[in-house]
Amino acid sequence: MLGAIRGGVKSPIMKVFLVFLAAGFALWGVGDVTTGLIGGSDKAISAGEESKSPAEVAIQFDRTRRSYMPNASLGEALQAGLLNEVAGGLARDVVFHAEANDLGLTVTREMQRTAVASEQAFQDEFGKFSEGRFMQVLGNAGLGEEDYLEQVDSSLRREQLLIAVGAGFVQSESIARTITAYELERRSAKLITFAVDPSGITDPDPIVLSEWFEETGANYDAPTLRSARVGSLSPSMFASKIQISDDDIADAYEVRIDEFITPETREIRQMVFDDAKLAKTALDRVLAGEAFAEVAAEMLGWTTDDVALGVVSKGNLDGPLGNAAFELAVDEVFGPVESAFGHHILVVDHINEGGNQSLDDVRDTIRVTLRDEAAIDMIYDKVNELEDVIASGATLDEAMVAVGGRVDMLSNIDRNGLTIDGTPVEGSASDLSQDSLVLELIWSGDVDELSVIQEGADDMFFVVETISETPPRERMLDEVRNRVITDWKRSEAIKVARKGATKLIGAPEKFDDVVPTEEFNRNGIGLDHEAARLIASTVFATEVGEIGLIETGNEAIASLTVNVVQVKGDTLDTTAKLISAAINNSMQQDVLNVLARDLSQTHDLKINLARVQQLLARQQ
Distance (Å, whole) CA 373 – CA 203: 59
Cis upstream peptide for 336 (omega within 30°): yes
Distance (Å, whole) CA 228 – CA 602: 56
Shortest CA distance to 301 belongs to which of 144, 426, 175, 126?
126
Distance (Å, whole) CA 426 – CA 423: 9
pTM (whole model) above 0.85: no
Mean pLDDT of 363-370: 90
Q: Counting beta carbons within 10 angstroms of the beta carbon of residue 180, is it exposed (0 to 12), middle (13 to 18) or buried (19 or more)?
A: buried
3-state helix, strand, coil in the chain (%, to 5): 55, 15, 30
Helix axes 54-68, 82-103, angle to 10 degrees: 120
Mean pLDDT of 482-487: 95
Contacts of 50 (CB under 8 A, 6+ apart): 94, 95, 97, 98, 101, 603
Task: Check residue 170 and give its pLDDT.
Answer: 65
Task: Check residue 347 and give its pLDDT.
Answer: 93
Task: Check residue 222 and give its pLDDT.
Answer: 95
Contacts of 548 (CB under 8 A, 6+ apart): 538, 539, 541, 542, 558, 559, 561
Give, in order, the Cα–Cα distances in Å from 322 to each of 140, 266, 341, 342, 504: 17, 11, 14, 14, 73
Class of domain 225-238+367-470: alpha beta
What confidence category does residue 1 fall into, taking pLDDT thresholds of 50, 70 and 90?
very low
Distance of alpha carbon 36 from the chain centroid: 30
Within the chain, all domains assigned CATH 3.10.50.40 are found at 264-353
What confidence category does residue 165 fall into, taking pLDDT thresholds of 50, 70 and 90?
low
Shortest CA distance to 285 belongs to which of 297, 274, 275?
297
Mean pLDDT of 326-349: 89
Can you point out the beta strands (E) in 26-69?
45-47, 50-52
pLDDT at 126 over 80: no
Within the chain, all domains assigned CATH 1.10.4030 are found at 2-170+577-619
Distance (Å, whole) CA 412 – CA 227: 5
Task: Check residue 162 and give its pLDDT.
Answer: 66
Task: Check residue 218 and give its pLDDT.
Answer: 93
Mean pLDDT of 579-591: 80
Q: Report DSSP state, residue 520.
A: B
Task: Check residue 149 and give its pLDDT.
Answer: 83
Residue 461 and residue 453 in contact, taking contact as beta carbons nearer than 8 Å:
yes
Residue 348 and residue 267 in contact, taking contact as beta carbons nearer than 8 Å:
yes
> pLDDT tens digit string along 137-148?
777 666 777 778
Mean pLDDT lowest among 90-94, 220-224, 285-289, 397-401: 90-94
Residue 314 and residue 119 in contact, taking contact as beta carbons nearer than 8 Å:
no
Residue 131 and residue 272 in contact, taking contact as beta carbons nearer than 8 Å:
yes
Distance (Å, whole) CA 593 – CA 27: 7
Count the Cβ atoms, other than its own, within 10 Å of residue 438: 25
Stated as kind and residue range, the H or E segment containing 75 is helix 74-79
What confidence category does residue 7 fall into, taking pLDDT thresholds of 50, 70 and 90?
very low
Q: Where are the alpha helices (DSSP H) in 104-197?
A: 109-118, 131-141, 145-166, 173-184
Residue 336 and residue 199 in contact, taking contact as beta carbons nearer than 8 Å:
no
311: helix, strand or coil: strand
Residue 473 and residue 420 in contact, taking contact as beta carbons nearer than 8 Å:
no
463: helix, strand or coil: strand
What confidence category does residue 620 fall into, taking pLDDT thresholds of 50, 70 and 90?
low
Residue 333 and residue 283 in contact, taking contact as beta carbons nearer than 8 Å:
yes
The domain over range 2-170+577-619 is classified in CATH as 1.10.3470: no
Percentage of the chain with pLDDT > 90? 47
Q: What is the mean pLDDT of the chain?
A: 85
Task: Check residue 586 and give its pLDDT.
Answer: 80
Class of domain 186-220+478-565: alpha beta
Percentage of the chain with pLDDT > 70? 91
Q: Which is more confident, 2 or 186?
A: 186
Domain 264-353 adopts which CATH fold? Chitinase A; domain 3 (3.10.50)
Mean pLDDT lowest among 52-61, 143-152, 352-361: 143-152
Task: Check residue 593 and give its pLDDT.
Answer: 80
Task: Check residue 619 and give its pLDDT.
Answer: 64
What confidence category does residue 391 fall into, taking pLDDT thresholds of 50, 70 and 90?
very high
What confidence category does residue 136 fall into, taking pLDDT thresholds of 50, 70 and 90?
confident
Give, in order, the Cα–Cα distances in Å from 424 to each of 229, 432, 456: 17, 11, 20
Mean pLDDT lowest among 1-5, 356-360, 508-512: 1-5
Give, in order, the Cα–Cα distances in Å from 372 to each of 245, 255, 405, 455: 14, 17, 17, 17
**Main-chain phi, psi angles of 45, to 5 degrees:** -135, 135
